[in-house]
Every structure is written in structure tokens, then in C-alpha cells.
Amino acid sequence: MTPKSLGHIQPRRSQGSQTEGSCRPLVSPEPTRHCCCVVQRNPSGIFAHRAVWVVQPCWEDARVGTPDVILCDLDGTITDSIPGIYRCLRHALPVIGLPDMSDEQLRAFLGPPLHYTLKEVYSKSDDDVAAFVTSYRAEYFGGGEYEFEVFPGMAELIADIGASPAALVLATAKPIESATRVLIKAGLLEFFDFVSGSELDLLRQDKPSVIAHGLESIGVDASQVSAVMIGDRKEDVAGAHHFGFGAIGVLWGYSDEGELVGAGADHVVSSTDGIRSVIGL
């Protein structure tokens, strides 16, 4: 993969009421009739409340311009990978004594790292987690990772972001090698400046670590650029806000009802046209 030139990325200091050194927030500076709530800042410059937008293509006043860096999740955002993931999860369940599960029960595995769900939801030991992950990966890497479809409009959006001045970074909990193969299969790898994800030894599972790795790898300082994270789960929102970045939540993914709004997503969209409206493409 040959990244785009990143020479266009210039350090940006905040202006006005923003905290010195923070990135430009991806929220409307003024409340409008399209805003679900009002953004207020206390004297220290911290958000007293976040604005949540449900963006439609005609809402020109929600457009905030293309940020320096656009981070994007994979499963549930770019690709619908549920068929392969569910099949491989069901393959691994008996290994640690778990019964077959309904699709609704398996949704708990979508988004968070596998070890988190197995430990926190099912109280499994480290040995059980290791056995499950080994079985799951053998099936998934053996073909399950290719059982996906690209969500409508996402291939075109990724190509257009890739042609824009913004740096495009994949930020996924999926292992980097697997994510790279998926992007190759989808014909989208060439548009990304970097693929950031976890490692096979379970290093870098949480979203803030994945984002930090991606930014460091393209040579930018998180405190000196404007950036936005596009994703479908609360983990994506939390990862973006960890760095003070804007978060665009997509409703076609795997989030529960109200999850993205509850997580404080700055924008919630139901189509790729909504993303385009927010980032100015």
C-alpha cells in the first residue's frame, strides 16, 4: 500500500473558546433548528452538552468542512460482515462449553473485542478466551472473513475521501492482516493511507489504542489536527472523544437502538449522503 502524500496536514491550534492545542470540534458552533440539543461551554472550555445531529443531504448548515484526518471503522460501517462472523462464532462456541446462540445473542460479540465479551458477559477465563479465539480465527481466517458485502454507497464514499486532501485511516478492532485482506477483496485498500487494527497477540484491542497507532503511523499529532471518526458502535464514539475528535455514527451497522445517541455521537446519519454533508464532500 502506497499512502498518499501527507504534506498537506498542517498543525492546527484551536481558536476562540476552544482549549489551546485541541482539535477543531466537529459540531455546529451555533444552535439551529436542525440541532437536537444545544452545545454550551463552561468557563473551562469543556463541553457541557454535546449536540447530536440526524443529517440529511439537504442540511447545508450542518456541513463543517473536510477534516485533516478521517478515521473509519470496518465491520458494520464499510462492510456487512455478519454472515461470516456469526458462522465462525457458532463454530467456536462449543469449544468453551457455550450453547448455540440466536442471532440476537451473538450481537453482543459485535463491536467490542472478543476477550471483553467472553470475560465480561460470559465470565470466561483467560484459558477459555484463548481457546475460543484460536478456534474462531481458524474458521474466520480460513474463509469466513470473505463472507461480507460492502454497504451501499460506502465504496464510492471511500474512493472520494481517498481522492480528497484528507488522510484516510482505517481504525478497526479486527487484526490488521485480516482487515487488509478484506479491503483488498473489496477493492478499497488503495484509498487508505494506513490500516490500523489489533495484533494477533491481542495487542491494541481498544479503539483509542487503534486510533493512536494509526495517527502515529501517518506521522501526525492527535492534538494538532482536526479529525473525525466514522463508526457504528459506542466504542467508535468513545475512541473519537478520547482524543477530542468528532464522531459520526452510522445507523446501518450493528448498534442497538439509541446506542449512538446515548454514547454522545456528534452526528448520527442514516446514509452515506449524510456523511458527505458533514465532512463537505
Q: Dump pLDDT digits (tens) for 128-140.
A: 999 999 999 999 9
87 domain residue, yes or no: yes
Per-residue pLDDT, averaged over 175-180, amounts to: 94
171 and 87 in one domain?
Answer: no
28 domain residue, yes or no: no
Per-residue pLDDT, averaged over 19-30, amounts to: 32
Contact 133, 96 (CB under 8 A): no
Contact 66, 280 (CB under 8 A): yes
Q: What is the pLDDT of residue 202?
A: 67
Backbone φ/ψ region at 260: left (φ over 0), alpha (ψ -120 to 50), beta: alpha
169 and 139 in one domain?
Answer: no
267 and 165 in one domain?
Answer: yes
261 domain residue, yes or no: yes
pLDDT band, very low/low/confident/very high, at 155 (cuts 50, 70, 90): very high
Q: Which CATH number covers residue 222?
A: 3.40.50.1000
273 and 161 in one domain?
Answer: yes
- Which of 146, 179, 197 delimits the end of a domain? 146
Contact 61, 76 (CB under 8 A): no
Residues in CB range of 228: below 8 A, 6 or more apart: 26, 67, 69, 70, 71, 240, 245, 246, 247, 248, 278, 279
257 and 197 in one domain?
Answer: yes
Show the cell assigned to 42.
463552561
Q: What is the pLDDT of residue 9?
A: 40
216 domain residue, yes or no: yes
196 and 266 in one domain?
Answer: yes
Q: What is the pLDDT of residue 8?
A: 36
Residue of higher predicted confidence among 5 and 165 = 165
65 and 159 in one domain?
Answer: yes
Full residue range of the structural domain in which residue 127 is found? 82-146
252 and 200 in one domain?
Answer: yes
Contact 220, 9 (CB under 8 A): yes
43 domain residue, yes or no: no
Residue of higher predicted confidence among 103 and 63 = 103
Question: Does residue 71 surpass a pLDDT of 60?
Answer: yes
10 domain residue, yes or no: no
Question: Does residue 168 surpass a pLDDT of 80?
Answer: yes
User: How many domains is the chain built from?
Assistant: 2
Give percent above pLDDT 90 in the chain: 66
Stated as kind and residue range, the H or E segment containing 172 is: strand 167-175
- Of 180, 137, 258, 178, the closest CA to residue 268 belongs to 258
Residue of higher predicted confidence among 206 and 14 = 206
